[in-house]
Amino acid sequence: MNFSNLFRKKTVQDILNQVAKNEADGHEALGKHLKTRDLAAFGIAAIVGAGIFSTIGKASFDGGPGVIFLFLFTAIACSFAAFAYAEFASMVPVSGSAYTYSYVAFGEIIAWVIGWALIMEYAIGNITVAISWSDYFTGLLDSMGIHLPQYVQMDYLTASNGFKDATALMQGGKTFENLSAGLQSAYTAWTTSPTLGSFHFVADLPALFIIIIITALVYRGMKESRNASNFMVIVKLCIILLVIAVGVFYVDTNNWHPFAPNGVGGILKGVSAVFFAYIGFDAISTTAEECENPQRDLPRGMMWAIIICTVLYIVIALVLTGMVHYSELNVGDPLAFVFDKLHLKWMSGIIAVSAVIAMASVLLVFQMGQPRIWMSMSRDGLLPKRFSKVHPKFKTPSYATIVTGFVVAIPALFLNLTMVTDLCSIGTLFAFVLVCAGVLVLQNQTDIPRGKFKTPYVNSKFILPVLMGIGLIFAFGYNQKATMDFLTNEKQINTPEAIVTALNKNQSEKVYDYLANFDKENATTTTPDLEQILSKYQENEAQYAAVITALPIDYSLKYQSGFGLFKHKIPMWIFLMVLMGLMVWSYRQNLSLIPLLGLICCLYMMAELSVWNWIYFTCWLLIGLVIYFGFSRKNSKLNSKEA
């Protein structure tokens, strides 16, 4: 097999000529309806959704009020990436986003990989949003006295895993009433669901319902989608401003102390959840062909969306962590939760309604993005021709839109929120890394037609080594213990919940008997709950370590060590090695600072995701490569041209 043509590239002029010939080839042009205001609204529609109404709660629980620094860091990283997207969008004003840009910068095989990875951003991202929408929608129905059975409002994996964890915790002495609300719901869904043999019929039907509605709207037309998006953005911005205006009067500044209770590690723990809040901005670039003036409006729309949303996220985070203590925010609906806790029921109702609208607007933007990626890949011959079919009346990629509906709807019935959020984040970050790298690759090529927007050039040759020096000073000067633990692979003690959920019934009884003899007065005389007993010791780090060391269970249940611990650090080691290579590259080629920082920031956020996400993502890419070598490579338009 000849692999020399795997990196064959499309020129900018070829892409523009192809768009001009689309109608002659049977690919009718898309309708042009979008201006800067509409693009910014699409960006806000995508960004202000699951982030504010759902994932901000978990991120605040992990990082405390200091989570605002994570929002700021993520916004800066996305802004760096947005510069790269804007430059490409100005240079190649067609649908396709990072896929099309990679075709120009790196060649066909990388373009295919990024197009395949983008499915994890748009399609899998929409699964996440559909699940969150379902949670808020069923909560709204509950407040109205309409109670759906648990097994039709929860996905299969959440119910199955929740049942196992709840069973383990109850074996450890915790009563059902003391389980978290999420575990109670999962246990109830699993035990009350219809069964066929050992199979339980548990599926998230409201998620399926909203996906069908949104897919129908996107199929109907861009103008209708734009009008719906603009309306939903106005509604949710008004609600968010109302939340801020009311909530600020209930802020207790004592709740902001300590500001970063779990240190830098706690803040960064929420990187996946916080980054997920921002991923929508690049969906704007998929609408390039439907813009009236893409070279001017796309860069402006992206930047305004990020700026507005960052300000909103930071203010909301400060208000939430000021209204209640950060330790209470590990809930799926944090905004409604804090107002309900403060007995402002009317605000909880308004928030529930606005969240349903907000989530729907995110679904709308993502559901527009995926078909346009597939349409671009089909135009290049990498997917079957029918994916590039444009509806003669509605001027939308009709077939690709319907397929996207199925791809999102079916997994939404069965997959859980955490898994799809992390997969969506790693796929998106990978796209951002390649777009930033693409700008760096093309920066010194003089034969590339340039658009009206160009990223401001700052030579990184000496700045990057200085920034790395500052990072080393911080790591070894202010965060020395964590740095040395990382380098030496020092063992880590498991949390009480991780220990208890890993025990069988006999092991739980042994641990309980040991603790009963160890400290009768302060521990077991007040509760039979193992997790709660161990959590009491956790308040004193040295005492907790001593208690865990003495527990009569296997070492592997108490600690993470050896390769079992090291494997979780592999993504960070990959980041550090790539960083060394980037420093050499920047010194030799005088690379532009802004896209280089975008690449580094996005790669760092990838490194903060678990090794399992990297493994799942690698498996996903391998499946994509099988399809590429089986179909796409020989059907590529460039392959036909060479023949």
Please check whether residues 226 and 259 belong to one and the same domain.
yes
**CA gap 133, 212 in Å, rounded:** 13
Domain edge (last residue) among 413, 438, 453? 453
Domain edge (last residue) among 518, 552, 586? 552
What is the C-alpha radius of gyration for the chain, rounded to an integer number of angstroms?
25
Domain with residue 43: its CATH number is: 1.20.1740.10
**CA gap 88, 453 in Å, rounded:** 9
Q: For tokens 């890394």, name the residue.
A: 433
Please check whether residues 421 and 281 belong to one and the same domain.
yes
Burial of residue 250 (CB within 10 Å: 0-12, 13-18, 19+) is middle
| Lookup: tokens for 556 | 């592997």
Please check whether residues 442 and 396 belong to one and the same domain.
yes
Please check whether residues 279 and 381 belong to one and the same domain.
yes
pLDDT of residue 609: 83
Please check whether residues 447 and 509 belong to one and the same domain.
no
Helical ranges in 461-569 per DSSP H: 463-477, 480-488, 496-501, 505-518, 530-538, 541-550, 555-558, 562-566
**CA gap 243, 345 in Å, rounded:** 13
Please check whether residues 215 and 318 belong to one and the same domain.
yes
Across the chain, which has 643 residues, the per-10-residue mean pLDDT values are: 70 70 55 76 75 73 83 83 80 70 82 82 77 80 81 81 83 77 82 84 85 85 73 81 86 84 74 69 72 78 84 86 83 76 79 80 79 84 85 80 86 69 78 86 72 81 90 83 82 81 79 75 58 76 80 82 84 92 91 91 86 88 90 82 58
In the chain, the number of structural domains is: 3
Please check whether residues 231 and 358 belong to one and the same domain.
yes
**CA gap 399, 138 in Å, rounded:** 31
Can you state the angle between helices 530-538 and 505-518, rounded to 10 degrees?
50
Q: For tokens 């007065």, name the residue.
A: 521
Name the nearest CA neighbour of 84 among 601, 614, 618: 601
Identify the three-state secondary structure at position 493.
Answer: strand
Domain edge (last residue) among 429, 453, 477? 453
Predicted structure pTM score: 0.78
Burial of residue 444 (CB within 10 Å: 0-12, 13-18, 19+) is exposed
Sign of the alpha-carbon torsion through 453, 456, 461, 465: negative
Q: Is residue 607 part of a domain?
A: no
Q: For tokens 């768009």, name the residue.
A: 19
Domain limits at 190? 156-202
**CA gap 99, 373 in Å, rounded:** 7
Number of C-beta neighbours around residue 520 at 10 A: 10
**C-alpha separations of 54 from 190, 339, 362 in Å:** 24, 14, 13
Please check whether residues 176 and 113 belong to one and the same domain.
no
Q: Is residue 470 part of a domain?
A: no
Sign of the alpha-carbon torsion through 344, 346, 347, 351: positive
Please check whether residues 413 and 535 belong to one and the same domain.
no
Contact between residue 204 and residue 170 where contact means Cβ atoms under 8 Å apart: no
Helix, strand and coil in the chain, % to nearest 5: 75, 0, 25
Q: Is residue 44 part of a domain?
A: yes
Please check whether residues 123 and 271 belong to one and the same domain.
yes
Please check whether residues 547 and 438 belong to one and the same domain.
no
**CA gap 430, 476 in Å, rounded:** 29
Q: Is residue 568 part of a domain?
A: no
**CA gap 425, 408 in Å, rounded:** 16
| Lookup: tokens for 279 | 């991923």
CA 538 to chain centre: 31
Please check whether residues 100 and 177 belong to one and the same domain.
no
Q: Is residue 28 part of a domain?
A: yes
Helical ranges in 92-155 per DSSP H: 97-105, 108-143
Amino acid in position 60: S
Q: Please give the DSSP secondary-structure letter assigned to residue 425.
A: H
Q: Is residue 481 part of a domain?
A: no
Q: Is residue 603 part of a domain?
A: no
pLDDT of residue 443: 78
Q: Is residue 473 part of a domain?
A: no
